Chain A
Amino acid sequence: MVCAIIAIALLSAAATALAGSDHWFSGTLVQGYGFASTAAHSISYIEATGNHNGFCVAKDTGTTGYASATKTTAGTRACSSSGGFAARVENSACCYHGWVDNSTSNDIIFDASTHYSY
């Protein structure tokens, strides 16, 4: 019994250690561009808040950093079409980058809450 409790505690601690979040983008994302996180993880959640509508979040594979906003992503986009907040729940499959894009004709400023969890 004691061994089982210890094992559960250790597993829980390990899971806690593996879980985390990455604030992979904030600031200005110019029109026509997206930005992918450097790290890749088993993403469970993505969230972004921007000062103009029309941006999207998704999970993605491939190169990190800036790319065309219209590139094909690994996961479906969730887009803020008339508001300033978009979020996605993902299935925690391994391993993807966080992605945010701006295919509008305005530059969009993202606040520091923009992040993904894994």
Chain B
Amino acid sequence: MFDFNKLTTGSIRQDFPILGRQVYGKPLVYFDNAATTQKPRQVVEAVSKYYYEDNANVHRGVHYLSQQATTAFENVRKQIAAFINAGSSREIIFTKGTTDSINLVSATFGRMIVNEGDEILISTMEHHANIVPWQMLCEEKKANLRVIPVSDFGELDLASFVGFLSNKTRLVAITHVSNTLGTINPVKEIVTMAHSKGIPVLLDGAQGVSHMPVDVKDIDCDFYCFSGHKLYGPMGIGVLYGKEELLNSMPPYQGGGEMIDQVTFEKTTYNELPYKFEAGTPNVADVIGFGAAIAYISDIGLENIGKWESELLHYATSELKREGGITFFGEAKHKASVISFLIDGIHPYDAGTIIDHMGIAVRTGTHCTQPLMDRFGISGTIRASLAFYNTKAEIDALIKAVEQVKKMFC
């Protein structure tokens, strides 16, 4: 049983050596978790142990090390399948990350089902990674990208969503949690509505999996994409979950080793799932690290993580409100621990520069959601994205930094 006090007292931070460092001579406050999360010692050690002691190519050799590496690699696939409650590990495809996963679906499934005049439905709050691959596909197929609007609070307009679903809609691609606004979208309802018209749904889960338990069977989405590095794991590794039936119907993505069954110069037959979509030597070490990350957060429990992050979110929001002179972007009812705001009258770049010098890592700018910035008529925001290892004392430091910014610019 995990001791919740490890979160409230911050003692969990001992697992993350980087959190003990200083920047500009001040203790680092890391509030850029939506960009990437820090890695616990357990993850780094699993990766280095793999390279020091277990490194071998997978699925190739009959020798001991190769078999051991293959077993470890495939065990992580099973672990991830269980983590998101997939039907089988054949539904778990390893990719470079969320962007790669979305591109895979666009280039294979998308090309297969989208034709001239068809429509793909996304939302205004999508990350560029869930816009551009669909735009490219629409350009290629002379199809149309349609966009569901968001309200002033940063919520999807579900009534208009239904109106957007037409007999031309081939796919709905929506983010689970907005990286800029923190909005948790009602994905289960969205899937139900789309499925009632026979339309498949892809969910961008890059910001979803780290904040709450995700059950793909319960959500019933057709594809779910996420990254290791936003889930306390290594960079360069990600997952595409897809329903087995759909994955089987799709043509392969890239050609090469591993994804083949038989190769002759006349014809190549392809391997079964999941290998059909994993051409070339996979990123074994980071898969091992990813497994360690999932073990680590599963030990804490995503319910505990969600509970503490929610407490931090409410504390930060109410402290910033008390400070005054702040405009918030994203005030959805269901929200993950992401706070986008502007200090009235101050350019986010100016604010970010000063906050940075006070040792606090926040992100300023458009957060790869330029159309969303246009929707709100702003050039960017300051974004503090919190993780379970953050503390209330760190939020107090942010408030002090905001006060400093006001003093300097107003």
A and B: interacting chains: no
